[in-house]
């Protein structure tokens, strides 16, 4: 699908020696070079990469940073190779798209790629051709917690919008990976009671609230949150039905469905994960007086961190910028949504599109 926003370029590269195909979609560069990660899966398609690139267009525009939208995919199962072979594939892909880096495309980590792969990519295309590089190279890896920090501030602003004091509120967090763990950390430090948390093994519920340090220790040693002492064990997806003021999604897509949407008790839903619910169901939640912070606003901490790395900023500057931009854009979208009586995602898309079109015309 092509429209007034893009995609501008769809490039396919193939290395006959390695028998590996790569895809690069540069969706829109009105605000700056296209920014988006490289995922490596055996099933990635052009359609998937196009959709992800468009999501990055909206996310970067809404984050108010000078990046456009892009995404890349390498069609390969990395579980069948060692790191040295994986580096060869990344290097081959980097060479194939070298003329576009970094003037039109800036890479980053995504599914099955991380800081090591970004190091290999940078060695071919230059330091500024990618973000998410190892800390030793001056990178700001997502392991610092930038996305979770942004999710925390999205929750803080939405709670204020709802007239809820974080210190007297409760939260349930779906997923206890990088995003969920840091969101739990920052919310706990702010005094919010963490009453529920889930992982692939199930949901742990504790009405009096979890001790964050003990929860981290349990997850590290027992490999699951449901091993937490005295917690009530439920099914993984039951996390959305817990009695909490705030629900943070931080793991799987399509978590909230037509079948379970009626079970949500939380007044606020902060989308730390990508596409945890369809737009149609978001509209239903909005009509039922739920406050929703869409994914491309709530989890923008990662791309904002990428921008700070791109301009050679440091860790402190990253945390400051994530706080400032996520807070400002969450406030803007919720206030505007209330004003024009439209759900937050529709409102945010209008703001993002306006920013892009304004720059396209100028």
Whether 177 contacts 148, CB under 8 Å: no
Query: How far apart (Å, rounded) are the C-alpha atoms in residues 45 and 70?
Result: 14
Would you call 81 helix, strand, or coil by DSSP? coil
Q: Could you confirm whether 86 is annotated as catalytic?
A: no
Would you call 356 helix, strand, or coil by DSSP? helix
First to last CA, the chain: 25
Exactly one of 35, 59, 71, 219 is catalytic; which is it?
71
Whether 273 contacts 177, CB under 8 Å: no
Query: How far apart (Å, rounded) are the C-alpha atoms in residues 55 and 63?
Result: 12
Query: How far apart (Å, rounded) are the C-alpha atoms in residues 362 and 351?
Result: 17
The full DSSP string for 195-220 is EEEEETTEEEE-TT---HHHHHHHHH
H helix and E strand count, the chain: 11, 13
DSSP 231: P
Residues 6 or more apart whose Cβ sits within 8 Å of residue 95: 124
Residues acting as catalytic residues = 71
């Amino acid at each position: 699908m092509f429209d007034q926003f893009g995609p501008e370029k769809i490039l396919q590269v193939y290395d006959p020696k390695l028998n590996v195909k790569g895809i690069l979609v540069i969706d829109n560069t009105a605000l700056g070079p296209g920014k988006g990660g490289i995922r490596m899966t055996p099933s990635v398609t052009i359609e998937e990469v196009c959709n992800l690139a468009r999501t990055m267009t909206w996310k970067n525009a809404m984050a108010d940073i000078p990046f456009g939208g892009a995404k890349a995919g390498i069609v390969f199962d990395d579980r069948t190779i060692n790191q040295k072979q994986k580096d060869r594939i990344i290097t081959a892909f980097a060479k194939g798209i070298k003329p576009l880096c970094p003037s039109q495309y800036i890479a980053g980590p995504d599914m099955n790629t991380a800081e090591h792969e970004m190091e290999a990519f940078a060695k071919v295309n230059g330091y500024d051709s990618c973000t998410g590089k190892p800390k030793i190279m001056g990178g700001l890896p997502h392991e610092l917690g930038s996305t979770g920090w942004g999710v925390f501030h999205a929750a803080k602003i939405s709670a204020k919008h709802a007239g809820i004091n974080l210190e007297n509120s409760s939260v349930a967090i779906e997923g206890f990976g990088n995003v969920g763990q840091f969101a739990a950390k920052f919310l706990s430090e702010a005094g919010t009671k963490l009453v529920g948390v889930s992982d692939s093994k199930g949901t742990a519920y504790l009405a009096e609230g979890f001790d964050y340090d003990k929860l981290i220790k349990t997850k590290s040693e027992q490999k699951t949150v449901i091993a937490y002492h005295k917690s009530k064990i439920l099914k993984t997806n039951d996390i959305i039905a817990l009695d909490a003021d705030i629900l943070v999604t931080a793991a799987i897509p399509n978590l909230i469905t037509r079948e379970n949407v009626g079970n949500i008790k939380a007044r606020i839903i902060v989308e730390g994960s990508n596409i945890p619910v369809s737009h149609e169901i978001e509209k239903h939640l909005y009509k039922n007086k739920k406050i929703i912070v869409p994914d491309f606003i709530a989890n923008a901490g990662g791309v904002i961190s990428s921008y700070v790395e791109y301009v050679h900023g440091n860790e402190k500057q990253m945390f400051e910028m994530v706080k400032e931009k996520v807070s400002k854009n969450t406030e803007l979208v919720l206030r505007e949504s209330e004003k024009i009586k439209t759900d937050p995602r529709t409102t945010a898309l209008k703001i993002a599109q306006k920013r892009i079109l304004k720059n396209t015309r100028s």
